[in-house]
Amino acid sequence: AFFYIDPEFEEDPEMDGINNLILSYTFFK
């Protein structure tokens, strides 16, 4: 599995939950 997280995306507190959701979705897909 390969995960790339944009540093600016990671630093956005509003995107934290969405980011985790994307990682979980990609992992379980």
Of the pLDDT bands very low, low, confident and very high (cuts 50, 70, 90), residue 24 is confident
Question: 5: domain range?
Answer: 1-28
Q: How much is the pLDDT for 22?
A: 76
Predicted local distance difference test score (pLDDT) of residue 18:
74
- Distance set, CA 28 to CA 4, 5, 10, 14 (Å): 16, 17, 21, 23
Rg (CA), the chain: 9
Q: How many domains does the chain have?
A: 1
pLDDT of residue 3: 59
The band of 23, judged by pLDDT with boundaries at 50, 70 and 90, is confident
Q: What is the pLDDT of residues 2-22, one digit of tens each?
A: 556 666 655 666 666 777 777
How many CB atoms are closer than 10 A to CB 15? 15
pLDDT at position 29, please? 60
